[in-house]
């Protein structure tokens, strides 16, 4: 990889004002990723604070019910703050601290990355400001309170469509405004180089653990690994250490919303085309003139019009496969995993569970399927209840 490219994807399409900041970040990251003290501190935060390693759980009832591959769940939902987001955030905030930054800013969709950033900022005594689409601050009022409780300042973004993509744009704008003391904690494997690489490396702990844990339990590699993809951070984390293991099928599950044949979708690889946005070249949902399309998914965490550049590359080379999963399939899977295993998954992760329900029965009983449960579903209960017609509000 050179210049932050994954094949033709990636790059650094950002205003000149930010260039020295990302170059400084790249230099610092290249130094600290090889620094034993940094790695010791990060491992300690992962283990003692976030609760790693997360469990690799054999889903016996689900396996028996589907009657095909043996199913394991990688339980990122059991991490502190309830999702995989904490892996990246602990890494980036620690890095920012080493760089002498005193303030972090972040975008958030549903609020998971914002809460994780506010958490790490509280822990490491950094000033924290989070940008969240106004519509999302209303839908996820409890997460806004959580961030404030953790000491962060939350800005409601009213520009554009007032959702995740606008929160990213606004955080980039804020970064150009105040750079010297501020690090932008980007929440996914997206944006300008070096973010897709940094976030990938911090999330790669997921696949490293899956590999070790499965070796211990089964003495072999999995046959398939499934994860949901918005920007794609939990998916790249789940895939990374298997990319060179050609026998392992890698499957990313995109949010199809009401279907990929409708305009109400966020399935970027199924419906988007090559473009340049938010600092990177990758696939984006856009119109014939390159205007970024408004996207839709029941899952606020997957409701983004682009996908990380490394996923775009894995798609181009055919190393990973990307499949669309509708709202309706995801909600069914949300309920299915709750009843079958007593695990309420995040609606994002339920997209991967939904595809596993189709895939597992077509696999042999001696094959192994790993699904990453990227987060827990408590945050989604009220919204799913409303989707099912119940009048419940947080």
Partner 1 sequence: MNKRIAEAFAHGKAFIPFITCGDPSLEITEQLVYACGEAGADLVELGIPFSDPTAEGPVIQAANMRALSGGTTTDKILEMVERIRKNTQLPLAFMTYANVVFSYHKGDETADSGTECFVKRAAQAGIDGLILPDVPFEEKEEFGGVCRKYGIDLISLIAPTSEDRIARIAREAEGFVYCVSSLGVTGMRAEITTDVGAMVGLVKQEKDIPCAVGFGISTPEQAKEMAACSDGAIVGSAIVRLCETYGRDCVPPVREYVRKMKEAVKELS
Point out the catalytic residue in the list 76, 107, 254, 341.
107
Segment contacting partner 1 (CB under 8 A): 13-21, 45-53, 219-227, 372-380? Answer: 13-21
**Applying CB under 8 A, does 17 fall inside the site for partner 1?**
yes
Q: At 280, which helix (H) or strand (E)? A: strand 279-284
The yes-or-no answer on residue 85 being catalytic is yes
SS3 readout for 103-115: EEEEEECCCHHHH
Residue 22 or 369: which CB sits closer to partner 1? 22
**Applying CB under 8 A, does 165 fall inside the site for partner 1?**
yes
Find the shortest distance in angstroms from Cβ 35 to partner 1. 25
Contact positions with partner 1 (CB under 8 A) in 290-309: 290-292
For residues 185 and 105, the answer to whether their CB atoms sit within 8 Å is yes
Contacts of 50 (CB under 8 A, 6+ apart): 79, 80, 81, 86, 87, 90
Q: β-strands 56-58, 70-75: how paired?
A: antiparallel
Number of residues that bind partner 1 (CB under 8 A): 38
Segment contacting partner 1 (CB under 8 A): 90-98, 227-235, 286-294, 323-331? Answer: 286-294
**Applying CB under 8 A, does 279 fall inside the site for partner 1?**
yes
The yes-or-no answer on residue 297 being catalytic is no
The angle at the Cα of 336, spanning 65 to 388, to the nearest 5 degrees, equals: 150
Find the shortest distance in angstroms from Cβ 201 to partner 1. 21
Closest residue by Cα to residue 130 from 164, 80, 94, 98: 164
**Applying CB under 8 A, does 61 fall inside the site for partner 1?**
no
For residues 156 and 132, the answer to whether their CB atoms sit within 8 Å is yes
Find the shortest distance in angstroms from Cβ 3 to partner 1. 7
**Applying CB under 8 A, does 177 fall inside the site for partner 1?**
yes
Q: Which of 117, 119, 137, 169 binds partner 1 (CB under 8 A)?
A: 169
The yes-or-no answer on residue 107 being catalytic is yes
| N-terminal to C-terminal alpha carbon distance within the chain | 46
**Applying CB under 8 A, does 338 fall inside the site for partner 1?**
no
For residues 203 and 236, the answer to whether their CB atoms sit within 8 Å is yes
Locate tokens 């905030």: which residue? 93
Q: Which of 7, 13, 65, 382 binds partner 1 (CB under 8 A)?
A: 13
For residues 256 and 324, the answer to whether their CB atoms sit within 8 Å is yes
Residues forming the active site = 85, 107, 374
């Amino acid at each position: 990889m050179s210049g932050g490219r994954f094949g033709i994807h990636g790059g650094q399409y950002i205003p000149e004002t930010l260039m020295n900041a990302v170059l400084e970040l790249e230099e610092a990251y290249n130094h600290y990723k090889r620094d034993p003290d940094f790695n010791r501190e990060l491992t300690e935060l992962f283990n003692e604070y976030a609760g790693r390693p997360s469990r690799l759980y054999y889903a016996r009832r689900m396996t028996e019910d589907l009657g095909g591959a043996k199913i394991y769940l990688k339980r990122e939902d059991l991490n502190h703050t309830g999702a995989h987001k904490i892996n990246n955030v602990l890494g980036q905030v620690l890095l920012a601290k080493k760089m002498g930054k005193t303030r972090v800013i972040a975008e958030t969709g549903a609020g998971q990355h914002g809460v994780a950033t506010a958490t790490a900022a509280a822990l490491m005594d950094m000033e924290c400001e989070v940008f969240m689409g106004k519509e999302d601050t209303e839908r996820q009022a409890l997460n806004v309170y959580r961030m404030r409780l953790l000491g962060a300042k939350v800005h409601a973004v009213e520009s554009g469509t007032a959702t995740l993509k606008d929160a990213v744009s606004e955080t980039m704008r804020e970064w150009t405004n105040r750079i010297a003391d501020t690090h932008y904690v980007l929440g996914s494997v997206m944006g300008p180089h070096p973010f897709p690489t940094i976030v990938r490396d911090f999330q790669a702990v997921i696949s490293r653990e899956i590999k070790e844990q499965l070796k211990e339990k089964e003495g072999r590699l999995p046959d398939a690994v499934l994860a949901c993809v918005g920007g794609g951070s939990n998916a790249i984390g789940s895939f990374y250490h298997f990319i060179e293991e050609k026998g392992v099928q890698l499957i990313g599950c995109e949010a199809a919303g009401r279907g990929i044949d409708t305009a109400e979708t966020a399935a970027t690889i199924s419906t988007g085309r090559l473009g340049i946005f938010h600092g990177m070249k990758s696939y984006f949902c856009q119109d014939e003139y390159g205007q970024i399309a408004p996207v839709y998914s029941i899952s606020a965490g997957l409701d983004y019009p682009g996908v990380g550049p490394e996923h775009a590359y894995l798609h181009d080379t055919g190393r990973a496969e990307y499949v669309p999963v509708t709202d309706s399939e995801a909600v069914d899977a949300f309920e299915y995993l709750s009843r079958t295993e007593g695990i309420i998954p995040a609606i994002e992760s339920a997209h991967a569970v939904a595809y596993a329900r189709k895939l597992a029965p077509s696999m042999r009983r001696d094959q192994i399927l790993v699904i990453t449960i990227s987060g827990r579903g408590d945050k989604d209960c009220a919204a799913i209840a409303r989707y099912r017609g119940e009048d419940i509000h947080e």
